[in-house]
Amino acid sequence: MCGIIGYKGKEAFPVLIESLKRLEYRGYDSYGFATVHSGELHIFKNTGKISESNMLEGLPGNTGIAHTRWATHGNVNKTNAHPHIDCEKRIAVVHNGIIENYQELKNKLLKKGHVFNSETDTEIIPHLIEENIKYGFEEAVKKTVSQLKGRYAIVALERDTGKMVAVRRGSPLIVGVKDKEVFVASDIPAFLNYTNNVMYLDDNEMIVLDGENKFYSLLTGEEVKKRLITIDWDAEQAEKGKYPHFMIKEIMEQKETIMRAINQDDKEIEKIANKINNAFGTFFTGCGTAGKVCFAGEYIFSRIANKHINYVVASEFPNYKHFLTDKTLLIAISQSGETADVLEAIETAKKRGVKVVSLVNVAGSTIDRYSDHSFNIKAGPEKAVASTKATTAQLALVILLAHAVAGKLQEGKMLLMETASKVNDMLNPRYEERIKKLAEKIHKQPNIYIIGRSLNYPIALEAAIKIQEVSYIHAEGFAGGELKHGPIALIEKGVPCIVLAANDETKDDIIANAMEIKSRGGYIIGVSPENNEVFDYWLKVPDVGVASPIVNIIPVQILAYHLAVLRGYDPDYPRNLAKSVTVK
């Protein structure tokens, strides 16, 4: 959620501030910097947006740390913003995650005479390092983290030596290198403008940034050798270009990303298909939008491969541990590859001997590395909080796997190539303008409902998420057949109802559901290959058979975007949300 950047090399402040701006997509309410120069710590903290800062001059020094904070402990103010320091103003710390036992540790430190200024859990860290500094900076950090409970990423900066130490346990940290410059950040885009050569900190590992930049295991104390990985992203991909927001840019990139997602090694796809066929119980797991893709996967595998796959939302997956054996297979889906609840689900599975396959968008991410086999969905950097292009790329890969399980891999590839081509045709200025006109009609409505059946029931749920998270309109998705069991009571005159209709065996039933809603005054928005007299407004989508979830979600993504803009909200930074949920 929060963003971390540490840098050692040339003049630090310009690098730190540019890197923080590249992490703004993660969401934040305050920010801060600390640099070391001439034996002093220089600190600046503020609330609000970095672009609105009243800071007239930068901070001196070639080494520094910076942070964007999303409040979890304490109010939004300058005092609670990171970095936090010790009593002697010798140690500065930035931190992502939650220290579960911070109150107990804080009480002990208070009794020893330490003075605290903030309400945060983070502030205990520099004071604990201060307590142990007599052992040396690196050893003090080791002793400190051995006392902490929770999931976190920490970067500590020491005034006298200018050393930085970064530690990871459950929250991501990536090291970037370029000649004599070194970066440590919570996400790759922070330093992508400088380098795409990275090394990953694993859980219970530490790096000492002192020129030698060595990694160590916190469990054994031994040095750990790391492989340098070149990330296949470029800085231009991570910029808005001609678009006003990342969200609409990423929606439009689906012209290419669906095709990239299915450009996988056939042998690897067949290999995983064989594992699915031979598994005694297979589970999909994910959170939020990725969770809805998993739910759609249940229907996709049933329809295409005659195969039963269980979907369990990742935060609830540990409750299913009693069903897991060494013959079970877990398929985990995550855009970031760092989702805390998905990582916990994987940990639960691995304790029972389960093999893990993942679909992720970030090569080298924690989920990627913890999996027995991983597919990169190849969507490129996705910076808007609301996932769009990653969603359809995930759906495409799930459809491809289902075809492989059914022994129809090439048929699946042809279908998805045709789908990608039709999405390319669909995403044109006239289509967007038609959706914008719809948004103008309904953007003042307090409620929107979405219905779907079969493959498109999970997409109705995902459509609701998209509208909720960027426009703040109350939106709900329902199975069409469930209307009479309660939801129809919500329908009143003029309420917009989006009907996701595929050209399949569910078409007549979903149209009948639309008629039920219309007879009670609902305003019917049809998303369908064919128009129907029941629709008050029609958004045409191509007829792509079992790939209908891909094409049906795209017009709702565009609608959600324009609803947000018309209502005066920034769709890239929805309130209370962050791109990567790395804490539970």
Partners of residue 170 on adjacent β-strands: 152
Q: What is the dihedral of CA 513, 514, 516, 519, to 10 degrees?
A: 180
Q: Distance between CA atoms of 518 and 510, rounded to whole angstroms? A: 12
Residue 139: CB atoms within 10 A of its CB come to 15
The letter for the amino acid at 534 is V
DSSP conformation class of 83:
P
| Token pair 């090569």 in the structure block, residue | 363
Is there a catalytic annotation at residue 579? Answer: yes
Query: How many Cβ atoms sit within 10 Å of the Cβ of residue 466?
Result: 28
Q: Is the Cβ–Cβ distance between 394 and 378 less than 8 Å?
A: no
Distances 419 to 53, 407, 424 between C-alpha atoms, Å: 46, 20, 9
3-state helix/strand/coil string of 409-441:
HHHHHHHHHHHHHHHHHHCCHHHHHHHHHHHHH
Phi, psi dihedrals of residue 160, rounded to the nearest 5°: -75, -35
Angle, helices 389-405 vs 254-261, to 10°: value is: 30
CA distance linking residue 335 with residue 538, whole number of Å: 31
DSSP classification of residue 117? -
Three-state SS at 223: strand
Separation CA 93–CA 64 (nearest Å):
10
Give residues with Cβ within 8 angstroms of 487, minimum separation 6.
449, 476, 478
Alpha carbon 400 to chain centroid distance?
23
Cβ pair 473, 436 in contact under 8 A? no
Contact assessment for residue 490 and residue 445, using Cβ atoms and an 8 Å cutoff: no
Residues contacting 473, CB < 8 A, separation 6+ = 443, 445, 446, 447, 448, 467, 563, 567
Look up residue 202 and give its DSSP letter. P
CA dist 21 and 267 (Å) reads 41
Q: Which residue has the tokens 């605290």?
A: 116
Q: Are strands 91-99 and 310-313 parallel, antiparallel or unpaired?
A: unpaired
| Catalytically annotated residue among 142, 163, 307, 579 | 579
Q: 2, 287, 294, 497: which one is catalytic?
A: 2
| HEC string for 357-378 | EEEECCCCCHHHHHCCEEEECC
Distance of CA 228 to the CA centre of its chain: 24
**Catalytic residue list contains 327:** no
Among residues 552, 518, 556, the alpha carbon closest in space to that of 534 is found at: 518
Structural contact between residues 61 and 35, judged by C-beta atoms closer than 8 angstroms: yes
For tokens 């090694």, name the residue.
265
Residue 348, phi then psi, degrees to nearest 5: -60, -45
Q: Catalytic amino acids?
A: 2, 579
